[in-house]
Copies of this chain bind each other. A is one copy, B any other.
Amino acid sequence: MLETFQPENIKQYTKSNLNVLCDELRSVIYQTVMQCGGHLASNLGAVESTVALFYVFDFPTDKIVFDVGHQCYPYKLLTGRYSRFHTLRSAGGISGFPKRNESVYDTYDTGHAGTSVSAAIGLAKARDLKGEKHAVIAYIGDGSFNNGLVYEALNSLKILNTKILIVLNDNGMSISPTVGGMSDILSDIKNGEKAENIRLLESFGLQYVGVKDGNDLEEMVDAFNHAKEMLSQSSVLLHIVTKKGKGYEFSEEHPTNTHGVPPVGSPKEKEYSEVLGETLCELAANDKNITVVSAAMKEALGLTDFFAKYPERAFDVGICEENASVLCAAMAAGGLKPYYAIYSTFLQRAFDEIIHDVCAQDMPVTFCIDRAGISGADGETHQGVFDLSYLSLIPNLTIAVPKDTEELKKMLAFSATYSHPLAIRYPRSGKVLFPNINEEISVGKWEYVYKSDKIKCAKATVLAVGERSLIIAGKVLKSLQKKGLSFDVVNARFVKPLDIEFLKTVQSETLITIEDNVFLGGFGSMVNGELTRMQKKCTLKNFAYRDEFIPQGKVADLQSEYGVSCVELEDYLTEIL
């Protein structure tokens, strides 16, 4: 039935047709995610509400914005993407998030939390000014509903004076269980308590409708019909209670583990996050002042054990990246030693607070930045390729990049004694490289990991930042050594400050930078600036990503395609050596 589904025909479907459709959706989602990886539990929970939306509204005339996008698979399958759905999250395939360039049914791209209500209001205002009449819907989970941007949007609903439908899909979970005051407010409403909470929502200009079982198709159809009528009066908040993972027992029982899942049979690699968690536990045993803050991702960041072991010093504040940053700055102002663990792309949300609260006050906050560099299958909105650039422009901030998981341990030990803002950034999977190298961490000091001649510099020196860059340099070195050529390789473990002394004294004719970041404002750009400042006569060649948004694909393929390629590095070196 899904294979031949046309949105315009759904209104003729019988109730049993609709239920079959739901079953098929669930089955395709499950099978595809097992094969391609992706977001499972949240999509399973959104099946009935999505089918009901199609039954009541007319897409693409009516518009919908999915917050984050972890609930858009059923919508994608119902809008002409069934036949290509097996390409989910692969290069050139169907995105795991809404994408305007993929379908006219996708009105607005998402990926980061909390944008949907603002976006729906903006789209609705455009509709009004253009004299159009369609509905605009924001579909948002209760995890995102904690985000400050949602509050700002609700606050502006009356100002923009327009009408939207907010579907609040309340499954009680972010990736971890949803936490905080708003979550309690919603719980009270769900439990039939504190009806005044509803009137609060009305103060923002919203009529409230509650649905007890958002996985009941008939109930959802009735609710959407009702909401559609109410929209003639004012905006509507339709609060639906659903089961994350619905329909698959294991997923229902383990919604955190089945939020995002890898393809079945993926090899288990050591992750930097595990090292982070273990090391912070060790450090915290000796330093009572160490605290850890996370924004709704403690499991993915390797912090489950820390939270269990030190509950009084571990804080998951929900999807509130800005608040987490200010909390850390203030804890440091109060004499604590806070660690803020977060994905690179989500830290962008706290950019102003990193500047204004942490660095302008020179607070000893350590940012542990995971999923840095290209992150792969999640695409444009999740690549962590900007952090070296947006962090390096901030005064007082030291930026370190470990060469491997062993060096992350050392950097964390170093961080415990460091009394200024520090950012440590690393990708997901980790290795141990050059285990025989055992230099101590000292601010702004690089180290040779390969030197062809003990005394003299080679004709070319590669300055590589982080594991992925060092792996590329190492591969090319091996290959060229077979041809009798060689060059020096440096672990440029501090991006800020740069190792000025090294740059002054290095004698190679050519310096080459490699990084897992965009070129603009990144490591290569900083080295460039420093060489110009010191008027050093040498040739510089930069390998970094070019100035484009990088789509989904395999990490190594994307690295190569967007500017950091073994082949190009080898060609370049072959030419100059």
Point out residues on A near B: beta carbons under 8 Å: 65, 100, 107-109, 111-112, 115, 118-127, 129-130, 146-160, 179-185, 188, 194, 196-197, 199-200, 203-205, 288-289, 291, 312-313, 315-318, 320, 322-323, 326-331, 333-336, 348-349, 351-353, 355-357, 359-361, 380-381, 386, 389-390, 392-396, 518-522, 524-526, 528-529, 532-533, 535, 539-542, 547-549
Contact = CB atoms under 8 A, between A and B. Distances in A.
Contacts of A394: 386
Contacts of A318: 152, 155-156, 159
A395 B203 CA distance: 39
A203 B188 contact: yes
Given A115-B326, A520-B521, A312 B129 contact: yes
A343 to B, nearest CB: 12
Given A118-B327, A184-B203, 5 more contacts: A125-B327, A129-B312, A158-B184, A159-B315, A393-B521
A203 B193 CA distance: 12
Nearest to A334: B126
A334 B125 contact: yes
A119 B529 contact: no
Nearest to A128: B312
Contacts of A127: 334
Given A108-B330, A322-B152, A331-B122, A392 B205 contact: no
A152 to B, nearest CB: 4
12 contacts: A109-B361, A124-B334, A126-B333, A129-B288, A129-B313, A148-B148, A156-B317, A156-B318, A159-B318, A393-B521, A524-B529, A525-B525
Given A395-B548, A529-B520, A529-B528, A348 B355 contact: yes
Given A146-B155, A159-B316, A326-B149, A357 B184 contact: no
Contact of A155 (B155, B320, B328, B331): B320
Contacts of A528: 525, 528-529, 532
A316 B288 CA distance: 46
Nearest to A316: B159
Contacts of A393: 386, 389-390, 518, 520-522
Contacts of A185: 200, 203-204
Contacts of A124: 334
A470 B160 CA distance: 41
B329 A119 contact: yes
Nearest to A204: B181
Nearest to A521: B521
B353 A351 contact: no
A182 to B, nearest CB: 5
A522 B389 CA distance: 11
A348 B155 CA distance: 21
B520 A356 contact: no
A5 to B, nearest CB: 26
Contact of A386 (B122, B355, B539): B355
A168 to B, nearest CB: 15
A554 B236 CA distance: 51
A184 B100 CA distance: 36
Contact of A519 (B130, B179, B356, B529): B529
Contact of A326 (B118, B154, B155, B355): B118
Nearest to A313: B129
A120 B330 contact: yes
Contact of A158 (B115, B151, B152, B180): B180
Which of A108, A203, A381 counts the most B-chain CB atoms under 10 A from its CB? Answer: A203
A540 B360 CA distance: 30
Contacts of A155: 146, 180-183, 317-318, 320, 323
Contacts of A149: 148, 322-323, 326, 353
Given A188-B203, A361-B109, A122 B334 contact: yes
Contacts of A520: 392-393, 521, 526, 529
Closest 6 CB pairs of A and B: A126-B334, A148-B148, A122-B330, A196-B196, A521-B521, A152-B323
A203 B194 contact: yes
Contacts of A112: 352, 356
Nearest to A348: B352
Contacts of A288: 129
Contacts of A522: 393
A282 B160 CA distance: 23
A118 B325 CA distance: 9
